[in-house]
Amino acid sequence: MNVHLKCEPRKTVDWDEFRRYPEYSIAIDGYCSGPPRSSDDGLRLNINHHEDCDRIATRSSCAQAFHLVQMGLYDAFSSRGRPRADLYVNDCDQDVQWTTYALMNPAQIEDPRYKFRIKEMINLEDVLDMSAGLYPIKKRWHLLKRLLWVSEPYTIARADGSLHQMDGPKMHALLGETHRRIRATLSGRGKELEPDDRFEVIADFDRWQFIREIGMHARIGIAQKGLKAFVSMVSSGHDCRRYVIVRRSRFIRWFPLDDICRRLNEAEGIVAGDKDRWGGSDNVIGSPRQRGSKLREDAVLTIVKDACDQASYAHA
């Protein structure tokens, strides 16, 4: 099999640029901004569920990959009868882990010994990623604990801040470790990890909160507590901060992510067309991947509060 992983941390391209990539190129989960699509010849493919799409209606990247393989992706992406693809990623989160595994192990998706197990794990990751971790899990806790063990190398890197300085080889190695854990899990040799779902509400603005994620799996605790929208500072450096801003779904209209995102880019002085900007999807946005944010917490909270107050007034 000739399927290779290309790790380019924090890099983002647009579709006009990506469709000029070599044949058999696949962009994964935000490497190429915009909705899922393929080039006219079908040999450049964007697997994504972030920009310009309904996040609930659009499958996560790993679910897309699973079904694309089942529906004959490698009939086209092939050379001399063998799967061929270059997989481009700019992150190594849980969705990317399962997406790349599915694309790099197509035989397991067709193998009765593994097909059901990989499908049930991807189905759970699908709803979690679609909801930015806020999907209300009431059952399948044993599967959730297995997912947490698989992604443990990533959650540690995210928690200690090393993720944001990670270069390509280190990202490739981290994905390799999670792939080894996936193989162990699918063969019945995997482990389970108890969730550390601790978080702290630093400021409560009635319908939304400013939080600090303490545990590596704080989103699970946030979902269980029923929070519908929040701002979280992921890390803070001397002149660079990283934030995630989340709402449960686009139906939380009083928390207008599009307007919040626009205001934050204006406050940062980021001009239209700059690829390194605040952005994301209709239920989660984050600070620029490369430069991070120069805005202090009070400035971010003021921007979010003003946007929410205006949205609440408009929908009153």
User: Can you list the alpha helix ranges (DSSP code H) found in the chain?
Assistant: 15-18, 61-70, 73-76, 94-104, 106-110, 115-130, 141-150, 152-160, 168-186, 218-225, 257-268, 297-314
Pinpoint the residues of the chain covered by CATH 3.10.310.
Answer: 199-314
Contact of 211 with 199, CB cutoff 8 Å: yes
Q: Please give the pLDDT value at position 166.
A: 95
What is the structure's pLDDT at 132? Answer: 87
CATH number corresponding to 199-314: 3.10.310
Q: Tens-of-pLDDT digits for all 316 residues of the chain? A: 799 999 999 999 999 999 999 999 999 999 999 999 999 999 999 999 998 889 888 999 999 999 999 999 999 999 988 999 999 999 999 999 999 999 999 999 989 889 899 999 999 999 999 988 888 887 778 999 999 999 999 999 988 889 988 999 999 999 999 999 999 999 999 999 999 999 999 999 999 999 998 998 999 999 989 999 999 988 776 678 899 999 999 999 999 999 999 999 999 999 988 889 999 989 999 999 888 999 999 999 999 999 999 987 665 5
Q: How far apart are CA 195 and CA 30, in angstroms?
A: 27
Contact indicator for 154, 93 with CB cutoff of 8 Å? yes
Q: Where are the alpha helices (DSSP H) in 215-296?
A: 218-225, 257-268
* Helix (H) / strand (E) containing 203: strand 199-204
